[in-house]
Each structure stands twice: as C-alpha cells, then as structure tokens.
Structure 1
Amino acid sequence: MSLASVLLITGGGRGIGAATALEAARRGYAVAVNYRRNAAAAEQVVTEIRLAGGQAVAVAADVAVEAEVVALFEQVDRTLGPLTALVNNAGILETQMRLESLDAARIQRILATNVTGTLLCCREAARRMSTRHGGKGGAIVNVSSVAARTGSPGEYVDYAASKGAVDTLTMGLAQELAGEGIRVNAVRPGFIYTDMHADGGEPGRVDRVKAFVPMQRGGQPEEVARAILWLLSDESSYTTGSFIDVAGGR
C-alpha cells in the first residue's frame, strides 16, 4: 500500500471511524477524516496520524446535505488526490424509544444521515473511481449494523430500518459497479464500545447487554476497523456485495 491510496472516512473523528482512520494510516493510506461538528476530535486523529509519519486531513461536512457532500469530495481531490477507497461510517441514532413515540422529524433526521448521506457519498465515489468515468477502480465499505437483522425493538427501530436500507444499497450497488472496477461491501458491528450509545441516552448500554452475546463481551472499535480494512484491501479482491458481522456471534 502506497500513499497514493486515498481513503475517505465519513464520521471519522470518533469510535469506529477514528479506529479505521488510524489503522488505515498505519497501512499506508492517505486518509481524509470527515466530521460534522466535532473538529477537535477529527483534528486529534489527524495529528496522531501525522506524528506517526502518515498523511491525513480533516474535512468538515454534513453528509445529509448534498452540497456539503459534493464539496467534501472536491476537497479530498484537491488535498490528497484521486480517491481509491470510501468508508461510509457516518451515522446517527437518537434517544431510545418505541415506534409509537417517534415523530416524523426524528425519522427524517435518521434517514437523511444514515441513508441519504450514504447514497450521496457512494454516488460521488462512483463518479471518481468507476472505469466507466475514466477512474481506476476502488472499494467502498458501508458500516451497517447487526440492528439491520435484529430490528432493535423497543429502542431504535428507525435506526435499524435505516441500516436495513444500507444493506440493500450494498447489495444493489455491488452488482451495479462490479464491472467497473469498484467493490462494495459492508460490515455489521454488534455491541461495540463507542460514544454513540451516549447519544441514545445509555452510555453503559454495552455492559448491560453483553450477556446476550455468545462471546460474552462487547467489541472494540479496532476489531471492526480490521474487518473494514480487509474489505478495502486486495486480500478481498474477489469479494463484493458481502457482509462481515463483527458481533461476537450475535
């Protein structure tokens, strides 16, 4: 892997995104760390990469906003060069509640980031990487969730539904781009120790539910990152439209 391999990670300032950025840099990628609001967290990841001799930039953009997605990819073009890999990691959830308590505004917020944002980023990546458009190919990894399979009843059915859409996108886009040099795969994390659980109102959620995991523990962001990096690498060169569940057997 050379520094000519350029990776964009959406939501790269914390959790799985940050772990993936750091591991990718160790493997020789030049990394664009996208963030929406937390500039300090993204810059900390970038600083750590640079101190280790890697190449990285932090780029602000809300993936739910089309104009910001377009600007994000254009900035990566200018600062790092031609994109060769994309990790769609940006995702949100909101306070745990049953469907009967949800309103349309919340549902729209979840879908705008988790579904529309992923679609828009895939579009911009395809326009750059597809051999149909003069690109040299590449790889996309979408960060889904085991919730796409379980439905997350009583907590986040809206989030689970959004990740089900990501799974369907992964399957369809993989077939659409397979002949154009682009592989599209997904990882489905289970209960992972990240700050995201605090967004849902329960920072200690993983410790509460880990007894339901066959391996009897929560996962670490680095464990998900390694699966993502395998799917981006040439080691998975004949793998597209596939899913890796990183969920301790759940």
Structure 2
Amino acid sequence: MRRKLINSISKLAIDAGNEILKIYKNTDFEIRTKSDGSLLTEADQVAHQMIIEGLSKLDVNLPVLSEESTSISIEERALWKRYWLVDPLDGTAEFVERNGEFTVNIALIENHAPLLGVVHAPVQGLTYLGGKNLGATRRDDAGERVIKCRTMDSVIAKQEPIVIMESRRHAEGGANSLLTKIQNKIGAYETRNMGSSLKICYIAEGKADLYPRLGPTSEWDTAAAHAILEAAGGSMIDPYFKPLSYNSKKDLLNPFFFAIGDANYDWPSVIKD
C-alpha cells in the first residue's frame, strides 16, 4: 500500500516538475518578493495548485501544508497526526538564476516525523524516493536503483576525504570552526556547494557525508529529503543531537541541524565543543 502511495506521489511531483519546466524555459516570467524576503514566481504557484489538487484526489481528508499556503493556524495544525508537507518549488532563487538546482518536495508526516518523501529535480530528470520500510531509491532515464548512505568506516579505511555539503547561497555561521574540528578529529575534507534539498539527497546517495545547516530553514524545506535520508541509513539531528521534529511548535522554522550519512558514527564527539 505504501509503495503504491509513494509511486503516486512520485508521478505527481514529476507532473508538477514538467509544468515548472514550461515556465523555466520562458525567459519572461514575473518574480515577486514575499514578506519574508524569499522569492515567488508563477512556477511556485502553478506547482502548488497542481500538487494540492493531486493530493486531495489521493485522500480528500488528509490535510496539506504547503509553503504557499502557510496561513493555517497552530490550533488547527495541532490536531493533525498525519498530513502532507509540501515545497512546490524548493530553490526558487536557483530557478530564477537558471542553474537547475531546484526541486519539487512532497512528504507525508505522521506523529511529527517524516513517513515517506519524494524529491524531484526537473532539469536533471531525477527523482529520489524513500520512506519507512521502503528503503531509498533514485530514478532517472537509466532506470531505478537502490541508494544508501556510505559509512564513515569505509571513508576512513579508504583514506578518502570527508565530503561536506554547503548551501550555494547561504553562509553557514560557525562552519569554519566545525570544519577545523572535522580536520583535527577525522582528517581531510572537501566541500561541495549545491542548492535546494539536493544536498541532503546527495548524502542519501552516498556521495557526501555531512550537511551542517547553521542558518534558518523551514519544515517544508527538509521533510521530503529527511524521509529519503533516513530510509538510506542517515539521519537529521538538531544541535542537541535529537531528530528533527515537524509541526511540534507554533512556528514552522527548523532549528539549526546536521544531515548525516552514517547515523551510527559518533558525530557528537566531532561536532560538540
């Protein structure tokens, strides 16, 4: 049942991505700035509407929280045990700059944790899927394959550098001191810059090991990739090394967090002072 559901969500994300691409290929589209300073385009709104309609067809009784429909009160949200959490266009700035690093994110949340998630990258024609008891996979024109996080033991044994993901456009406060700790306690590292939730999916795919996010994000930014990362063997933890939680407080902002590939590695000994 859950496999059928995640396949339906994947199709919906791809359909929304195709609509986004139509606008992406048009050089003349309106760009607005929202009250929080983030960008909004026609593509965000078109994808939002398509996803909302598609999810309601799957289950009309299941609530949907989208970045473009955040006016739902905390009193109403507090009643939700299970709901959809959507970012119809994650990485609008990447969309505007046309670097291709934007995604469609759809997650199913249950009891404050991601149950399953889909992240679709329209330009790359790439889709990541994952959930509890489903494992994690990536799909593209070449087909579908299982993905797993790599272990720190394998990285250290091969004397490979630790790969650390960084935001393409948001400076991470405190990142330099963290990098110094990693170099002193583990060894050599390299950094890779990328936009949107693709950074977390890279870790799920075993191409990177850590993404320290020491700046503001919202819950719809992370939920889908969080589900995929956990399904691939990784984790997303706050500065107190507890799993990220969803819809558990008045606002919808994430704490600072660390997306880690090897959930069994002793990251606290590396990260904490």
What TM-score results when the alignment is normalised by the length of structure 1? Answer: 0.25
Q: Which has the higher helix share?
A: 1
What TM-score results when the alignment is normalised by the length of structure 2? Answer: 0.24
Q: Which has the higher strand share?
A: 2
